[in-house]
Structure 1
């Protein structure tokens, strides 16, 4: 009689599982508290840029940079940033619920939403910086500020994703093991 050997169950690693992890947020608070702070901060950032959807000037007024290229370009840039900001507000609320209620799937939705938001903002700010450096000759300072904002956005988003990923992975580990706290 032959024995059949079963292969051990392979766990499929997600892309986010390969990211580095941290044990605390900002070197001083627990992951859950840090994730709640990240959710509130992301929501506030989303609210700052969201008025651009209604064509009222929100935190950013694009008139000085795109004034020579027509109202349609200006409106589409503002709408893009505004819609991405509304999406950031929605995924920030999902992150808050996921962190408070121990739901790792909602935390992962925030992570992908933050990546999409950051990519959109980086693309829009890069286009505006190119206009500032190469089209308009008198707004080099605005272009430099936009490049600085791009760097800050990328670094902040990367840190936020690492912290939230650490909480998500710890929640998944605790739910899969037989540890009783």
Structure 2
């Protein structure tokens, strides 16, 4: 039995819409989130410009983290398109690719924000507000990633159940 098959399931998305519609909305939200952090899309230097308060090695770390965040954001955009195609065309394999992709994205972003938090709280004590905001974003990312995976998995499991040859009325 696969790991994703053991996750809990829900019968609707956000307590109000069907799983397929909710999954398409999740694909759209994920795509826009990936697009927001993708490089050269938003035409800003970065969402955390702490160069005035960081030392040289901290600024280099920040730039490296922005490059990694841009790369995983492009990955998130790609798997979001796969999710939309999988939800609309009844392809559970594409939905599972999204699940693993968004899990990788969430873990990577959590790790990146943890590194930035360490710099904010322990290396440079004058950017505690930025560290607190990053902590809040980390909580939101974990909760949204878990919810998105559960909703998408529910649609995938229902597709697998309805496509089963042993299904008898």
**Once the 2 structures are TM-superposed, how far is the Cα of residue 64 of structure 1 from its aligned partner?**
3.6
> Residues of 2 paired with 1:56 and 1:72: CA distance?
17
| 1:152 corresponds to 2:137 | no
Q: Which residue in 2 is equivalent to 1:128?
A: 116
Match of 1:142 among 130, 137, 147: 130
Q: Which residue in 1 is equivalent to 2:55?
A: 68
> Residues of 2 paired with 1:110 and 1:98: CA distance?
9
Match of 2:151 among 155, 163, 166: 163
| Greater relative CO (CA pairs within 8 A, separation 6+) | 2
- Determine if contact 1:62/1:78 at 8 Å carries over to the other structure: no
**Once the 2 structures are TM-superposed, how far is the Cα of residue 56 of structure 1 from its aligned partner?**
5.2
The structure that has the greater radius of gyration is: 1
- Determine if contact 1:47/1:85 at 8 Å carries over to the other structure: yes
Q: Which residue in 2 is equivalent to 1:44?
A: 32
Moved more, 64-73 or 33-42: 64-73
**Once the 2 structures are TM-superposed, how far is the Cα of residue 139 of structure 1 from its aligned partner?**
1.3
Give the gaps of 5 or more residues in structure 2.
Answer: none
| 1:34 corresponds to 2:22 | yes
Q: Which residue in 2 is equivalent to 1:113?
A: 101
- Give the root-mean-square deviation of aligned CA atoms: 2.3
**Scaled by the length of structure 1, what TM-score is found?**
0.85
Q: Secondary structure at the match of 2:38?
A: helix
Aligned residue-pair number? 168
**Scaled by the length of structure 2, what TM-score is found?**
0.91
> Residues of 1 paired with 2:152 and 2:53: CA distance?
36
